Structure 1
Amino acid sequence: AELKKRGADFNGTTWLDRTNYYETLPASEQNLEFALQMEADRMVNSLIRAEDLASEMTVVRSEFESGENSPQNVLMERVMAAAFEWHNYGQSTIGNQADIMRVPVDRLRKFYERFYQPDNAMLVVAGRFENAKALELIQRFFGTLPRPARELDRTYTEEPAQDGERTVTVRRVGDVPSAALLYHIPAGPHPDYAALDVLATVLASEPAGRLYEGLVRRRLAASLYGFSFALHDPGALMFGADAAEGTDGTTLLQSLVEAVETTAERAFTAEEIERARAELLKQRELQMADSQGVAIELSEWAAQGDWRLFFLHRDRLEAVKLDDVTRVAKQYLVRTNRTAGVFEPTKAAERVAIPETPDVAALLQDYKGRATVAAGEAFDVTPQAIESRLQRSKLDSGLKVTLLPKKTRGNLATLQLTLRYGNLESLQNLGLAAKLLPEMLMRGTTNRSRQEIADELNTYRARMTLSGTPGTLTARIQVSRENLPPVLNLLKDVLRNPAFPADELELLREERMAMIGQQVSDPEALAFTTAMRKVSPYEPADPRFEAPLPEQLKLLQAVQLEQLQRVWKELLAGTTGELTVLGDFDAAATTAAVQDLTRDWTSEVPFQRIPRVHVDNTEGSTEMIVTPDKANAVWVGMMTLPLRDDDADFAALEIGNFILGSGGLSSRLGDRVRQNEGLSYGIQSGLQPSAVDRRTAFFIYAISNPQNLKKVDAAIREELARLLKDGITEAELEAAKSGYLQEQQVARANESALAGMLEVYAFVGRDMLYVEREEERIRKLTVEQVNAAVRKYLLAERLYVVMAGQE
């Protein structure tokens, strides 16, 4: 509750070698002191009570069951279990259902007392703070914790080399066959691991990866993956694929095995190695620019023996040679070292000796780190401070420009360019084409192939994505100051000179069909799609139409290349939209580059925003969708409200919803359904307002065991009724105000979120002082105002409720 009150983004996760806890709060000395004191306190003083275990047990079971809904997720777990017969890596960290339900509280308490100790922990503090003060606080709170007398046992189990291929078959209700392969490899600290990391990327990258060429382009697979596990003890290299339409699981597995295990027979090229290395180094560089991300990543490498392995691995990646990749491919990608799995019948594997983990201390005895990444400035996220630094202008083409220059970690710039096009009439029967267009534009221009686009982004250590809805197309770029100009030149080529390769549309079609094919029996996808159709009652020709999942497959089969070309050629233009740039960049050069990008780019079809309509229903409905053999069930309630985000009632309703279910675990729904009754791993309510239409979507979402679905349904309705009948308390109101306002601070500290906010504000004509006024309105809210708003709008009888799960 205290974390939420402070607007924190927090979580705790556990995996094969470690458990980590993290929280991101608004930067202040008070929050730093609070976080350090809390972590030191709960490290050794947490209460492990039987009543808490009884409630949390069903919550964890709900999380377990959520994972069981995905055959692909289950397949990976089964392959890991078959590959690691003795080592604990073969056991999923969440456990099995029986153990979750039966674990005694004394075992839990002993585990906590044994492992949650200062000599078994690493602390990382990242972000904006004073080093001296942080060290003083760390010494004050952690330095006083006594070192325990006990000694931790080292894991002595060593996985024997396999003596034959192993095969796993998963037979469950589902729609798309899948195949997976696992090969044993050395531990993360071993010198071979860097070459194996490169090997995985060479094989599984898109679109030039060998598996992509051999499976996806041949229409055997619709999608694939490949990755290595950097672990404390010898780990795993995994590959997998989802079948394209017409490919059965056995054929897919055989093709995957052949593609992987014959790859060393075809000589690797220097271009393949450099491309993979560039991709991996780009990911690291972007990660280093994210305080939260790098802090969490350091905990992963610390679990392998020492956090400095993170940097040693970078050095090794840079040093990997073509011969190294060839050698590890021949050594580890062999039949005797394989465990295979198929979602459908199939077979797999053999033996290979895995080198011992090297002495990490000796390995790093003389290791020297490198220069630190630029830290950026201490950025003030108050609305007034942001407004004082904004630079607004308008391009000759008509685009509205918002610039926020500031020093950033890693000298990164974040750019968002949204183009608005077309109208309701011109986009009739073109909704799906407009949705596919952004991704299709990234698949090749008249000057660059899809792979050349990806290679340039890796060269410039840049992330560039295109997304959109019918009527909007948004480009997002994250890149260093020095590389922003060439990446903008690349964006110009992507937007202005698309090649529309026919084979890429077929690949995109199959990828989407495979994804939707997996959803047609998934409770969450079915529940949300059904509820969305209730609150978006449009005709099939309308670009706002929400199609049922089976119909989405038919629409994908029918969409034509000419429709995408028509949207681009006749409708898309550079005359209406918004450019937002934050971070470290040359303002004049960036504006000039986008001016050049949009020059002489017009459309004869005028842009007219497509509105979203409020569904003015007086009665809702309840629907049950039966999904056989799915371990987790889903509850979704949805309706629309005649409100815009600047209406007089909205602020009060926002806080009322925060108290009901948007405030995380410390909310009415969170307290009742998760904390007290343990019926759900996840439950929340939310508002999705518009800055232009008087249409705000309200939803409640929960997952549970199918046997508990009726209890969840009753609990949600009872809590909603209690909120309307009894109202909120003064204490709830004050806590909600504080938590909500601090959440907004955290959001404004996120550059992508802030860019999105500034883009919307440029579109509707707002400045950041609007935020200041709205936050002041929230500070002045009374209990009476919030109660009046929730009683006016949150009427349970108007909810469209959809439940999905097995009977």
Structure 2
Amino acid sequence: MLIKSSSKWLLLLSLLAMGQAFAKLPKGIEKVTSVEGITEYRLDNGLQVLLFPDQSQETQTVNITYHVGSKHENYGETGMAHLLEHLVFKGTPKHPNITKELTDRGAEPNGTTWTDRTNYFETFAASDDNLEWALELEADRMINSFIAKEDLDSEMTVVRNELENGDNNPIRVLLQRMGSVAMDWHNYGKSTIGARSDLENVDISNLQAFYKKYYQPDNATLIVAGKIDEAKTLGLIKKHFAPIPKPKRVLRELYTEEPIQDGERMVTVRRAGDVQVVATMYKAPAGSDENYPALNVLSQIMAHPTSGRLHENVVKKELAANSFGFNFQWAEPGVANFMMQVAKDKDIDAAKMAMLATLEGVKDSPITEDEVKQAKANLIKQFELSFNSSERIALALSEWVGMGDWRLMFLNRDRTEAVTTEQVQAAAEEYLVNDNRTLGLFIPENDFDRADSIKRYTLAEIKAKVEGYEGREMVAQGEDFDPSFDNIDARTAYVDLDNEAKMVHVRKETRGDSVVMNIRLDLGNEEALFNQSVVGRLAANMLDRGTENHSRTELKAKFDELKANVGVSGSARGASISVRTTHENLPAVINVLDEVLKKPAFDAEELEVLKQELVVSLEQQKQQPTTQVFRQLGQHLDPYEPGHPRYQMDIDDEIEAIKATTADQVKAFHKRFYGGQNADVSVVGDFDVNAVSDSVKKVLNGWSSDVEYQRVPAAYSAVDSINKFVDTPDKSGAAFGAMMRLPIGDDHPDYPALVMANQMFGGGFISSRLANRLRQQDGLSYGAGSFFNASSFDELATFGAYAICAPENLERVEIGFKEELQKVLDEGFTQQELDDARNGVLQNNRIDRAKDDRLARELAGFIDLDRTQQWNKKYEEAIQDLTILQVNMAFNKYVSADSFSIIKAGDAKKMVAE
């Protein structure tokens, strides 16, 4: 067992180690500053480098952030930053197929574009080879990307499809319209994805000029985090980035500034749909402003979905189905957003008036000390828990870099901790006022109340705010843990709990003393659960909505105080509780869960809130093409009789069943079915085994269900294939789905071969037969791929494919799918495809084992299967031993062109291209 040193001793050792490293910096690299384990360097060509070593995870993350986003776009060029992000994945002369390289190495990559920045990142299994490959790739595509006309022609339609798919979301559309109304001159008022006309007509020379101007080392921040050797990493960075010369052009700081808003504004969107939305948007200070943390606390108080004032004053009074809010924390003054979804049979004006009274009524209903305390606890908890993962911090740093300086992340935390009730009250009275509001109406007024304190900061002013900032002592660093099968098994221990339950755990030192836990409860049997699906689902969803001793709000505050993220989910057949917290807090969290599981309040008022949320969500799904496609495919392929625990109800029938369920029925279900017998518990991370075991035993001891548990099997059914179309009027995007069932489980000899076949057909990151055809070649779909999964308990597997597209392209998508499928059946996959896919899958599996939450979920699932990591080891050995002949034979054995059922959904009126 590792022995923890005192924090002062660790800090001294860290400082000595850093001092030795800095003394040996490669020529041309300058150390700038270091804060809480993150160290900033700068190359002579202007490249900013942030290194965040974390030996506790067997992963590495490379994230390069360019200081360019949608706010830098000119007239006629909206969406250019985002479109360029897509083209940078199209390759360079040295890396002509980037997406394939990412897939082959099992990376988890992406690129994102926002208002102030664009970033590209990849997380991969830690190795010197992977790290150098990633750094060389990012250095190469910084200046050598093709940005070619032929790529623009194909990718433009893909991005347009992304725009069309987003156009199906009423909340996204409303936010876009409100932004354009709220902002008079600043580009923050334009959607990052851009105007359709700009996407369709942009000249390739404009994109090339944009790329050459902004994709340069002096306009970029390279972030490398995870299991890295700092000195080696700096050497690799110098090797690949230092040869890139600093450009001669000068980037001038933007100067457009929004005027102070002088009256409420209105926007109304009228489209087909089933849910009403009310939203308010208030101008807000910049992310670096001293007043921003107070606004952030205020947003939590007003809009937290379970305990906020909007929830209490509007949702609980059944004027709206749900409420939520969020701020856009930007480099320049941005906006705070508050939204509510209202059922179509409810009065939207009543909801609107209650919303405005809540948001803008703080003078009559002042902010309280308890509200501020709870909101701060939640925000600080989220920050501290996020810092336990170097990968999450590596990606989050992009936002703070975009705001002006990465150290703002820590300064914002400090300011949040120091926020007072008076500051939050002042923020509410300053920003949440009618003259600073954008809403769905216009009402003239003479009594002006303007937020005239908002100002824009120059980069120099932002730098001045963090000048000399040193931060705090680093969190516990954790151990260098080897996620190999044998090591995980060697570190895995089992505890027999009370009530025939079992606990499996992997004890290790983790960053920030973090720990994750899963508790799984199995419920009922096929006969007892007949006609109980909806009641059982509501019972599971009500568990964390209040207990006999604590209201929902009090329960949330308790978990915040314990720095715990707790998720409760389930169905009639079982419930699952996930926990992420710290060493010292886990026993106390389990004690609270004892009350959550055994003494839920099942408050009638809270149940009505939940029912309304579910009904509104289902109403939305009725018009969503993708939901319709896969819901109907599931109903066709799994023809269980109505009432069966696995039966998939029609949406309208499910809505009626939810509405008809009473609190007494939910209570009766819990009393009859819930118990701790045969519970499965897994714990991974830093924890006291005896203390946690005792706490779990206290939960399970003597707590038994009245109904004997027997797993409800999933049965394979041979059904005829179908091909049908579902009309979803007024939806810009459409969806394609194809699916079939196979009578095999994951212990079948053909399972590894089918896993690899799926990876090659459509499972890779934009690099597979299907994605290459529908996205890369034909430019029809933003998202296209395939999936394959098999049960660990039953002889039942699913193979399917999907694509989103414009309605007029549905026929071409179906043709492309069928042609690629037939090509595999006729010609088979190639040896090179198998070698590349195999390498990618195995490396990605290693990432799964390196992540504590994923490992904990797997360990819990393995208990009933009586499996250890040796099962995974044999499975991966089977993948290693596969021949291309075995893969092609397995694919042809189970798959044929006629075996798939196909459903397409979209607006029938748009099926013919304009």
TM-score range, shorter chain: over 0.9
Question: Hey, what's the Cα distance between the residues in 1 that align with 2:401 and 2:246?
Answer: 19
Residue in structure 1 matched with residue 829 of structure 2 by the alignment: 728
Is it true that 1:665 corresponds to 2:754 in the alignment?
Answer: no
Match of 2:244 among 136, 145, 149: 145
Residue in structure 2 matched with residue 190 of structure 1 by the alignment: 289
Report if aligned partners of 1:706, 1:806 keep a CA contact under 8 Å in 2. yes
Question: Hey, what's the Cα distance between the residues in 1 that align with 2:878 and 2:615?
Answer: 47
Residue in structure 2 matched with residue 674 of structure 1 by the alignment: 775
- Gaps of at least 5 residues in structure 1 are none
Question: Hey, what's the Cα distance between the residues in 1 that align with 2:665 and 2:741?
Answer: 32
Residue in structure 2 matched with residue 461 of structure 1 by the alignment: 563
Match of 2:257 among 155, 158, 182: 158
Question: Hey, what's the Cα distance between the residues in 2 that align with 1:715 and 1:690?
Answer: 29
Deviation per residue, 1:382-430 (Å, 9 max, x gap):
2122111110232131112211011112111110011112100111111
Report if aligned partners of 2:283, 2:437 keep a CA contact under 8 Å in 1. yes
Is it true that 1:625 corresponds to 2:726 in the alignment?
Answer: yes
Specify the code of the residue in structure 2 equivalent to 1:513. V
Is it true that 1:254 corresponds to 2:353 in the alignment?
Answer: yes
Report if aligned partners of 2:264, 2:442 keep a CA contact under 8 Å in 1. no
Return the offset for 1:354.
Answer: 4.3
Is it true that 1:525 corresponds to 2:627 in the alignment?
Answer: yes
Specify the code of the residue in structure 1 equivalent to 2:899. R
Aligned ranges for residues 170-249 of structure 1 at < 5 Å?
170-244=269-343, 246-249=345-348
Match of 2:409 among 310, 314, 320: 310
Report if aligned partners of 1:656, 1:786 keep a CA contact under 8 Å in 2. yes
Cα root mean square deviation, aligned: 1.4
Match of 2:754 among 653, 677, 689: 653
Specify the code of the residue in structure 2 equivalent to 1:652. A
Question: Hey, what's the Cα distance between the residues in 2 that align with 1:347 and 1:745?
Answer: 59
Residue in structure 2 matched with residue 8 of structure 1 by the alignment: 107
Q: Secondary structure at the match of 2:321?
A: strand
Return the offset for 1:209.
Answer: 1.5
Deviation per residue, 1:437-493 (Å, 9 max, x gap):
222011111121111110011101101111113321111110000000100000111
Report if aligned partners of 1:340, 1:347 keep a CA contact under 8 Å in 2. no
Specify the code of the residue in structure 1 equivalent to 2:567. T
Report if aligned partners of 2:274, 2:344 keep a CA contact under 8 Å in 1. no
Farther off after superposition, 770-779 or 159-168 = 159-168
Report if aligned partners of 2:316, 2:609 keep a CA contact under 8 Å in 1. yes
Q: Secondary structure at the match of 1:443?
A: coil
Residue in structure 2 matched with residue 801 of structure 1 by the alignment: 902
Residue in structure 1 matched with residue 97 of structure 2 by the alignment: none
Specify the code of the residue in structure 2 equivalent to 1:565. K
Report if aligned partners of 2:524, 2:709 keep a CA contact under 8 Å in 1. yes
Is it true that 1:326 corresponds to 2:425 in the alignment?
Answer: yes
Residue in structure 2 matched with residue 428 of structure 1 by the alignment: 530
Report if aligned partners of 1:167, 1:348 keep a CA contact under 8 Å in 2. no
Report if aligned partners of 2:517, 2:683 keep a CA contact under 8 Å in 1. yes
Question: Hey, what's the Cα distance between the residues in 2 that align with 1:760 and 1:348?
Answer: 60
Deviation per residue, 1:311-340 (Å, 9 max, x gap):
111111111111111111111111111111
Question: Hey, what's the Cα distance between the residues in 2 that align with 1:62 and 1:346?
Answer: 34
Residue in structure 1 matched with residue 813 of structure 2 by the alignment: 712
Specify the code of the residue in structure 1 equivalent to 2:127. S
Residue in structure 2 matched with residue 609 of structure 1 by the alignment: 711
- What is the TM-score of this pair, normalised by structure 1? 0.98
Question: Hey, what's the Cα distance between the residues in 2 that align with 1:487 and 1:32?
Answer: 38
In the comparison of the two structures, how many residue pairs are matched?
803
Return the offset for 1:771.
Answer: 0.8
Report if aligned partners of 1:761, 1:767 keep a CA contact under 8 Å in 2. yes
Return the offset for 1:347.
Answer: 6.6
Question: Hey, what's the Cα distance between the residues in 2 that align with 1:386 and 1:246?
Answer: 54
Is it true that 1:130 corresponds to 2:229 in the alignment?
Answer: yes
Q: Secondary structure at the match of 2:221?
A: coil
Residue in structure 1 matched with residue 680 of structure 2 by the alignment: 578
Question: Hey, what's the Cα distance between the residues in 2 that align with 1:12 and 1:703?
Answer: 19
Farther off after superposition, 463-472 or 621-630 = 463-472
Is it true that 1:22 corresponds to 2:22 in the alignment?
Answer: no
Return the offset for 1:348.
Answer: 9.0
Residue in structure 2 matched with residue 563 of structure 1 by the alignment: 665
Residue in structure 2 matched with residue 398 of structure 1 by the alignment: 500
Report if aligned partners of 1:394, 1:400 keep a CA contact under 8 Å in 2. yes
- What is the TM-score of this pair, normalised by structure 2? 0.86
Aligned ranges for residues 474-485 of structure 1 at < 5 Å?
474-485=576-587
Residue in structure 1 matched with residue 173 of structure 2 by the alignment: 74
Deviation per residue, 1:293-326 (Å, 9 max, x gap):
1111111011111000111111111111111111
Residue in structure 1 matched with residue 434 of structure 2 by the alignment: 335
Deviation per residue, 1:27-82 (Å, 9 max, x gap):
11111111111111111111111111111111111111110001111001111111
Report if aligned partners of 2:305, 2:323 keep a CA contact under 8 Å in 1. no
Farther off after superposition, 353-362 or 175-184 = 353-362
Question: Hey, what's the Cα distance between the residues in 2 that align with 1:410 and 1:522?
Answer: 41
Question: Hey, what's the Cα distance between the residues in 2 that align with 1:624 and 1:655?
Answer: 31
Match of 1:700 among 787, 796, 801: 801
Report if aligned partners of 1:532, 1:546 keep a CA contact under 8 Å in 2. yes
Report if aligned partners of 2:534, 2:654 keep a CA contact under 8 Å in 1. no
Question: Hey, what's the Cα distance between the residues in 1 that align with 2:159 and 2:803?
Answer: 14
Q: Secondary structure at the match of 1:478?
A: strand
Deviation per residue, 1:145-198 (Å, 9 max, x gap):
211111112211111122221100000110111011111111111111111111
Question: Hey, what's the Cα distance between the residues in 1 that align with 2:894 and 2:444?
Answer: 58
Question: Hey, what's the Cα distance between the residues in 2 that align with 1:748 and 1:616?
Answer: 36
Residue in structure 2 matched with residue 737 of structure 1 by the alignment: 838
Residue in structure 2 matched with residue 115 of structure 1 by the alignment: 214
Deviation per residue, 1:336-394 (Å, 9 max, x gap):
111113xxx78799743243234112211232211122222222122122111110232
Is the alpha carbon distance of 1:160 and 1:346 closer, same or farther for their aligned partners in structure 2, counting shifts above 3 Å?
closer
Report if aligned partners of 1:526, 1:549 keep a CA contact under 8 Å in 2. no
Report if aligned partners of 1:652, 1:789 keep a CA contact under 8 Å in 2. yes
Question: Hey, what's the Cα distance between the residues in 1 that align with 2:495 and 2:701?
Answer: 16
Return the offset for 1:292.
Answer: 1.8
Report if aligned partners of 2:362, 2:425 keep a CA contact under 8 Å in 1. no
Question: Hey, what's the Cα distance between the residues in 2 that align with 1:300 and 1:402?
Answer: 38
Report if aligned partners of 2:125, 2:847 keep a CA contact under 8 Å in 1. yes
Return the offset for 1:622.
Answer: 0.7
Q: Secondary structure at the match of 2:223?
A: coil
Deviation per residue, 1:537-590 (Å, 9 max, x gap):
122211111112222211111122223222211111111121110000111211
Q: Secondary structure at the match of 1:237?
A: strand
Report if aligned partners of 1:166, 1:348 keep a CA contact under 8 Å in 2. no
Residue in structure 2 matched with residue 772 of structure 1 by the alignment: 873
Q: Secondary structure at the match of 1:797?
A: coil
Residue in structure 2 matched with residue 641 of structure 1 by the alignment: 742
Report if aligned partners of 2:498, 2:700 keep a CA contact under 8 Å in 1. no
Match of 2:140 among 18, 41, 46: 41
Residue in structure 2 matched with residue 418 of structure 1 by the alignment: 520
Specify the code of the residue in structure 2 equivalent to 1:723. V
Report if aligned partners of 2:514, 2:581 keep a CA contact under 8 Å in 1. yes
Is it true that 1:686 corresponds to 2:808 in the alignment?
Answer: no
Deviation per residue, 1:635-679 (Å, 9 max, x gap):
011121101001011111111111100122110001111011110
Report if aligned partners of 1:418, 1:473 keep a CA contact under 8 Å in 2. yes
Q: Percent identity over the alignment?
A: 40
Farther off after superposition, 257-266 or 81-90 = 257-266
Question: Hey, what's the Cα distance between the residues in 2 that align with 1:697 and 1:264?
Answer: 58
Report if aligned partners of 1:117, 1:147 keep a CA contact under 8 Å in 2. yes
- Gaps of at least 5 residues in structure 2 are 1-99, 909-914
Aligned ranges for residues 85-100 of structure 1 at < 5 Å?
85-100=184-199
Aligned ranges for residues 467-506 of structure 1 at < 5 Å?
467-506=569-608
Deviation per residue, 1:610-641 (Å, 9 max, x gap):
01111213x31011011111000000111211
Specify the code of the residue in structure 2 equivalent to 1:792. K
